[in-house]
Amino acid sequence: YVPSALCCPSRASILTGKYPHNHHVVNNTLEGNCSSKSWQKIQEPNTFPALLKSMCGYQTFFAGKYLNEYGAEDAGGVSHVPPGWSFWYALEKNSKYYNYTLSVNGKARRHGENYSVDYLTDVLANMSLDFLEYKSNFEPFFMMISTPAPHSPWTAAPQYKNSFQNVSAPRNSNFNIHGKNKHWLIRQAKTPMTNSSIQFLDDAYRKRWQTLLSVDDLVEKLVKKLENHGELDNTYIFYTSDNGFHTGQFSLPIDKRQLYEFDIKVPLLVRGPGIKPNQTNKMLVANIDLGPTILDIAGYDLNKTQMDGMSLLPLLRGDKNVTWRSDFLVEYQGEGYNGSDPTCPGLGPGVTHCFPDCVCEDSYNNTYACVRTMSTSWDLQYCEFDDREVFVEVYNLTADPHQINNIAKTIDQEILEKMNYRLMMLQSCSGATCRTPGVFDPGYRFDPRLMFSNHGIRARRFSTRSLSSI
């Protein structure tokens, strides 16, 4: 799972091992701390690659999309190379496949639109293979390869543009239905969707798959290179993404940012020494765990970090009697325009990312926090919005895996109060306090005196001020 279903906050969580309220990256803008001067000063020196290089003697390699605002002139441009990287090949700004600029160890290199030399996924593959070929054999190595694919604009390589012609977006039970009893932003989606919207999202889904075929090629080449060098059996490989994506669920055409499983759940595949093949682990894992895991593999003492996540190494190795979390925090700060969205002026101010038929995917008060719980007795999600209603959504995913029925008004009041209190605890947690027992764990302690017992759900305001100066 990801604690925030958006590129920059999620990538910041991977790099720092922290929840968004601790790394302060809240959206994809400089004002939201995405690759800002504040991020560079406070967070970048403490990322796990910085520790790998400075404390563990690793040679480190980065290639691809870093953070959405990386390369912005107001934050040092492409000459800024974050601490912790021996070799740096970073994309300026957001996802592209052609006509982009790379920072090559701090120097700008412009690419055009010639497939054989410029298609970004293949360029990243070739630079990665070169690193493996010429790196030092006397130091351990770490590589982070961050392909924009399958992000928009979904430009497939020429040989893959006709693939998956019969593929369409999944038609689960929450596809193209009204999001009743949900936050107003979900309820405003037009149901049923128009044929043009459905064609648009099916086309997007197909093109995303097409772009991933080049990622498959990249992975295959890297694995073969490691095998040929005799290093595959001594190398851990992690394959994951920074957020999920919806295509038509609750009549939302395409995007991420929402609190539901389709946006916060991502693939995670791992191979490496001591990991048995063909096994699936159902423990509750978040991307804040990737940094601690990689540092643990490198032999670094995790007690010396301020990370909120946990090392997955015991789970990966199949250790017995591992004590693991039963819940984690999801948090997001909505984005909106002060003026009307230019594509949908009739909707008024405060919304953004409006897709075909003026269905908007985000707004200022699409600001929420959730506790996602998976225990032996409950598979539950509890969410609160920072809006005038203090709107609450609760889902029992055992009975309702596609999160169609909001049970906030029918679930037991005691569970609501416990989840509300747990949410407050997680929203203010840091480091070890983010790993305390969840509501349904044997070690959980709940003091109802901390609640406003006569006033139902306890409301509190989220931070909505600019974080760029923190």
Question: Does residue 273 carry a pLDDT above 90?
Answer: yes
Assess contact for 121 and 97: CB atoms under 8 A.
Answer: yes
354 is catalytic: no
Question: Does residue 339 carry a pLDDT above 90?
Answer: no
Confidence label for 470 from pLDDT (cuts 50, 70 and 90): very low
Structural domain boundaries enclosing 213: 7-317
29 falls within a domain? yes
Q: So what's the pLDDT on residue 358?
A: 85
Q: So what's the pLDDT on residue 464?
A: 37
Q: How far apart are CA 461 and CA 231, in angstroms?
A: 51
Helices (H), 144-188: 184-187
Instruction: Say which residues have a Cβ less than 8 Å from residue 412's Cβ, sequence separation at least 6.
Output: none
Helices (H), 135-194: 184-187
Residue owning tokens 């803008």: 29
The predicted model gives 31-39 an average pLDDT of 97
CA distances in angstroms from 45 to 16, 400, 470, listed in the order given = 10, 43, 15
Q: Of 7, 34, 383, 434, which is the active-site residue?
A: 7
Question: Does residue 253 carry a pLDDT above 50?
Answer: yes
Q: So what's the pLDDT on residue 465?
A: 35
The predicted model gives 103-129 an average pLDDT of 98
- What are phi and psi for residue 340, nearest 5 degrees? -75, 150
Per the prediction, the chain carries an average pLDDT of: 93
Sheet of 379-385, strand order: 327-332, 368-374, 379-385, 392-396
Q: So what's the pLDDT on residue 50?
A: 98
Assess contact for 362 and 334: CB atoms under 8 A.
Answer: yes
397 falls within a domain? no
DSSP 368-389: EEEEEEE-SS-EEEEEEE-STT
Among 47-61, 183-197, 348-362, which stretch is predicted with the lowest mean pLDDT?
Answer: 348-362
Q: Please calculate the CA angle 128-65-430 and round it to the nearest 5 degrees.
A: 110
74 falls within a domain? yes
User: Residues 435-455: pLDDT tens digits?
Assistant: 999 999 988 988 666 554 333
Assess contact for 142 and 58: CB atoms under 8 A.
Answer: yes
Confidence label for 241 from pLDDT (cuts 50, 70 and 90): very high
CA distances in angstroms from 301 to 48, 109, 323, 329, 427, listed in the order given = 12, 38, 19, 24, 26
What is the number of domains present in the chain? Answer: 1
Tokens of 433: 């306090």
The predicted model gives 230-247 an average pLDDT of 98
Q: How many helices (H) and strands (E) does the chain have?
A: 12, 15
Question: Does residue 456 carry a pLDDT above 80?
Answer: no
The predicted model gives 264-293 an average pLDDT of 97
DSSP 292-340: HHHHHHTT--GGGS--SS---HHHHTT-SS----SEEEEEE-----SSB
375 falls within a domain? no
Tokens of 374: 């998976």
Residue owning tokens 């700004």: 93
Instruction: Output the domain CATH number for residue 86.
Output: 3.40.720.10
Q: Please calculate the CA angle 259-264-265 and round it to the nearest 5 degrees.
A: 140
Helices (H), 61-107: none
270 falls within a domain? yes
